[in-house]
């Protein structure tokens, strides 16, 4: 896949020498890259990319030097400050710089910090949002992140803080009470503590949960479980990060909306998983 898709005619912005564009690459499936990111890829001299960027996407920019700045995959980890300063250097050297980040650069992606450092150093930036794993990844699993009969709010939570520990700054009691649906990023390592905190805060052990690993890629796996059994079920499944964990009744909708299973020929498991007893769109 070296031929990059053509861009439709439009007044596409120019990535100028000395600029850095922070672009989202989406959760994995190359089809979820935005046209603005593709436009950037066609113009970049250098692409500084993260571990969670699907490598096939980089094939669309054969002219660009690709620099890995990720923190996974057994490769040495780059320090955040060093990455940001490297971007400053590349921009000052007159390169057209594309900083490519998994999902959306401003969702648990340190895009805000990188952009701030660039601007503090006088480097002009453009931000190109992407499809975040916590929304698009769940959609690929057939889970709508909001659903009128389930939730009027959704809370995105990180399972790690800067120290790599469960975020101590999070008030799990308030989070549990405040939102019917939680979408947890980076939750695998501390799943026992997170599930324990939610149970302590009064969420029922029977609450539906889903774990979606490598969402939107060929390696996508989905586990349907409950808050009480999630830790054991994950361990038994052998599933590995990256994972999005969804806590809440919207997970039940997968019984009807698992479109990948339908595409593979399966019948819907349950046409009315929320037991409405009414056609889906009646009030
Ligand atoms: N900026 C990214 C999130 C970066 S934090 C975004 O908007 O999606 C990294 C975490 O994102 C991972 O630990 C995992 O929780 C989640 N993640 C990213 N890509 C994923 C994928 N394809 N499948 C499942 N989880 C993913």
pLDDT score for 73: 46
Q: How far is the CA of 102 from the centre of ligand 1 (A)?
A: 7
Same domain membership, residue 92 and residue 202: no
Q: How would residue 161 be classed by pLDDT, with cut points 50, 70 and 90?
A: low
CATH number of the domain where residue 162 is located:
3.30.950.10
Mutate to test the pocket of ligand 1, among 23, 27, 54, 212 (most ligand atoms within 8 A of CB): 27
Q: Please choose, from the candidates 34, 6, 59, 8, the residue with its C-alpha nearest in 3D space to the C-alpha of residue 127.
A: 34
CA 137 – CA 180 distance, rounded (Å): 19
Assigned domain for 272 exists: no
Q: How would residue 282 be classed by pLDDT, with cut points 50, 70 and 90?
A: confident
Q: How far is the CA of 30 from the centre of ligand 1 (A)?
A: 15
pLDDT score for 2: 59
CA 261 – CA 269 distance, rounded (Å): 10
Element (H, E) at 205: none
Q: Please choose, from the candidates 251, 20, 246, 7, the residue with its C-alpha nearest in 3D space to the C-alpha of residue 134.
A: 246
Q: How would residue 163 be classed by pLDDT, with cut points 50, 70 and 90?
A: low
Assigned domain for 257 exists: yes
The residues that are catalytic are 50, 71, 186
CB 27 less than 6 A from any atom of ligand 1: yes
Please check whether residue 29 is in contact with residue 217, taking contact to mean a CB–CB distance below 8 angstroms: yes
CB 214 less than 6 A from any atom of ligand 1: yes
CB 159 less than 6 A from any atom of ligand 1: no
144 contact partners, CB below 8 Å, separation of at least 6: 138, 250, 253, 257
Give the predicted TM-score (pTM) of the model: 0.95
Taking 80 as the threshold, does the pLDDT of residue 27 lie above it?
A: yes
Same domain membership, residue 142 and residue 87: no
């Amino acid at each position: 896949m070296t031929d990059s898709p053509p861009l439709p005619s439009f007044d596409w912005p120019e990535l100028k020498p000395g600029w850095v564009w922070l672009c989202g690459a989406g959760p994995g499936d190359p089809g979820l890259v935005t046209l603005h990111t593709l436009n950037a890829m066609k113009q970049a001299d250098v692409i500084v990319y993260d571990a969670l960027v699907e490598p096939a996407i980089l094939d669309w920019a054969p002219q660009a030097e690709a620099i890995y700045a990720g923190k996974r995959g057994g490769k040495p980890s780059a320090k955040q400050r060093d990455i940001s300063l490297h971007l400053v250097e590349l921009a000052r050297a007159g390169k057209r710089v594309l900083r490519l980040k998994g999902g959306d650069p401003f969702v648990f992606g340190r895009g805000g910090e990188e952009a701030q450092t660039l601007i503090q150093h006088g480097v002009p930036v453009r931000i190109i949002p992407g499809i975040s794993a916590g929304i698009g990844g769940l959609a690929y699993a057939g889970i709508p992140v909001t659903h009128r009969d389930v939730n009027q709010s959704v809370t995105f939570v990180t399972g790690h803080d800067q120290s790599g520990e469960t975020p101590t700054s999070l008030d799990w009691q308030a989070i549990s009470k405040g939102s019917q649906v939680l979408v947890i990023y980076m939750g695998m390592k501390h799943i026992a503590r997170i599930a324990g905190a939610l149970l302590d805060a009064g969420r029922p052990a029977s609450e539906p949960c889903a774990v979606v690993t490598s969402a939107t890629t060929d390696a996508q796996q989905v586990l349907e479980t409950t808050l009480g059994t999630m830790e054991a079920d994950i361990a038994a499944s052998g599933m590995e990060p990256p994972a999005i964990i969804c806590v809440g009744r919207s997970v039940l909708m997968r019984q009807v909306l698992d479109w990948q299973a339908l595409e593979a020929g399966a019948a819907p498991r349950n046409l009315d998983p929320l037991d409405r007893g009414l056609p889906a769109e009646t009030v």
